[in-house]
Amino acid sequence: MIIGVPVETYLNEKRVALVPALVPTLTKIGMEVLVEKGSGEKAGFADAEYEKQGARIVQDRNQLLSQADALLQVRGLGANPETVQADLELFRSGQLAVGLFNPLVTPAYFKLFAERGVTTFALELLPRISRAQSMDVLSSMASIAGYKAALLAAGSIKKMFPMMITAAGMISPAKVFVIGAGVAGLQAIATCKRLGASMQAYDVRPAVKEQVESLGAKFVELELQTKESETSGGYAKVMDEEFYRRQRELMSLVVAECDAIITTAAVPGKKAPVLITEEMVKGMKLGSVIVDLAAESGGNCELTKPGEIVEAHGVSINGPLNLPSTIPYHASQMYAKNITTFIQNLLKNGGGNFDLEDQIVRDTLITHKGEVVNAQVRELLGLPALVEKTEEKESGS
């Protein structure tokens, strides 16, 4: 099987799906690796490094897509709508496409993939099981986003994070509040703590209290934490508006005393819940900062504008987009390790076959043999449920 790595075309996307050091991992299991010229340059990986590791450099996208049997991408077409039509024309029936596709937000694109006969695997839908941890690209990228959010907060407030004893007297530490203690939130807590900030954190899931406290942060208890706010897969659920109203009411006192707030609360495929209202922003200290990691899905702050820094009521509100791409070298290394492990598992039975009884394969498969086969995506498209097949395995060709 020929694996192809195209140049990422999404605006300001600097990551690459495969790094040179992992090319031998694929060639050792019988894969040939093609890399479009310049694919890794923005992340710091030269074409010569790929060639040294056994990949072949191809000159343009048409050449790559015409030869590759499987494509590894950071942002597939569903997550890169600006190039859907141009790229879709280059795909052919029977090809595999693996990457981030945003299937629960842009399900309509998968009708196009199905019509084209392309088999797609969306890594956002990896199940939260121990065997899939080494493939979990969302956790890898969230970790980077949390780290960078801490740096953005530290670089934006009008104070230094750490307590310092100077000739001019003692400087008290900045107070930072992290809302949402998933992977991004925990990394933000850890990074801010290393920088010396005084940390507090909140999450609707009571199970994360121990993790928060192990990183040196105080866990804020609002008497709202409940197991019902978490799915069986470990993701946050959408709660009703009364829950969020009460949450904002209780949280406002904590928000008012902080110098920097990092919000990370998101629900897969849904608009981010508004946790900080304009009224709460008005009550914050002059010169405070909000870094809203949920900006891409609407934002946790009512005043967030995706991709912009807004100044309102003396508070700076930053809505950064695609933070992992701002640290492309290590983000690419982590992403590449995840996707390579996924490919090894996917093609363990040979180049054209994959095991549909494997939960990892089954849950991430969106289109196959001209059909949208993923139940969640079919429901979003208004399509009837597919009849379950009885065969233990199916050919992926």
* Band of pLDDT at residue 368, cut at 50, 70 and 90: very high
* Band of pLDDT at residue 343, cut at 50, 70 and 90: very high
Cα–Cα distance, 8 to 75 (Å, whole number)? 7
Structure tokens at 27: 């060639």
| pLDDT tens figures, 64-117 | 999 999 999 999 887 787 776 777 888 889 999 999 999 999 999 999 999 999
Q: Measured between alpha carbons, how far apart are the two ends of the chain, in Å?
A: 11
Phi/psi-derived region of residue 44, left when phi > 0, alpha when psi is between -120 and 50, beta in every other case? left
pTM, whole model, 2 decimals? 0.90
Cβ atoms within 10 Å, residue 374: 26
**Active site positions, annotated:** 128, 133, 136, 139, 235
Strand 260-263 relative to strand 218-219, pairing: unpaired
CB 135 within 8 A of CB 158: no
**The pLDDT of residue 351 is above 70:** no
CB 258 within 8 A of CB 175: yes
| pLDDT tens figures, 8-27 | 999 899 999 999 999 999 99
Full set of structural domains in the chain with CATH: 2-135+328-395 (3.40.50.720), 143-326 (3.40.50.720)
- 3-state secondary structure string, 177-191? EEECCCHHHHHHHHH
- Bridge partners (DSSP) of residue 292 are 263
**The pLDDT of residue 390 is above 70:** no
| pLDDT tens figures, 197-254 | 999 999 988 889 999 999 999 999 876 555 455 555 555 555 667 777 777 787 888 9
CA 246 to chain CA centroid, nearest Å: 28
Q: Express as a percent the part of the chain with pLDDT over 70.
A: 92
| pLDDT tens figures, 255-277 | 999 999 999 998 888 899 899 99
pLDDT of residue 239: 65
Question: Which run of H or of E encompasses 91?
Answer: none
